[in-house]
Amino acid sequence: MKKIQCHGKPYEIGKAHGVEAQEPIRRSISFYQKMFVHTCKLEWNAVREIAKDWQSEIEQKWPRYYHEIQGISDGAGLPFVDILALNIRTEIAFGMFNDGCTSLYWKTQSNSFLA
């Protein structure tokens, strides 16, 4: 397992992380590009557009996190939105996951309902 020592302000920590982990970050993007197509039927550009919708909220509510993502982006030489998408991949995937239909079952004393 790769060990990375990062110190400083959020941007500096992120940049050190991006520089040291550039190749694993690129492999992660490649993996999630395929995963999103398979599980959500979303191409990476669509995932990036969804991630962009979160960008200003993250910057406003969690500026330290935002600056660290910017540092990772700069350190790895990758677009900010790609690093952002990696960091909110679960929120995107669960929000967009499409695996079929949904069912509902409700049982009372006298009836059962299935929809």
pLDDT digits (tens, 9 = 90+) for 91-108: 777 765 455 555 666 778
pTM above 0.75, yes or no: yes
Fold of the domain spanning 10-95: Arc Repressor Mutant, subunit A (1.10.10)
Question: Residue 69 and residue 10: Cα distance in Å, rounded?
Answer: 8
Residue 66, SS3 per DSSP: helix
Residue type, 115: A
Check whether 20 has a pLDDT greater than 90.
yes
* 27-73 pLDDT, tens digit each: 999 999 999 888 888 899 999 999 999 999 999 999 999 999 999 99
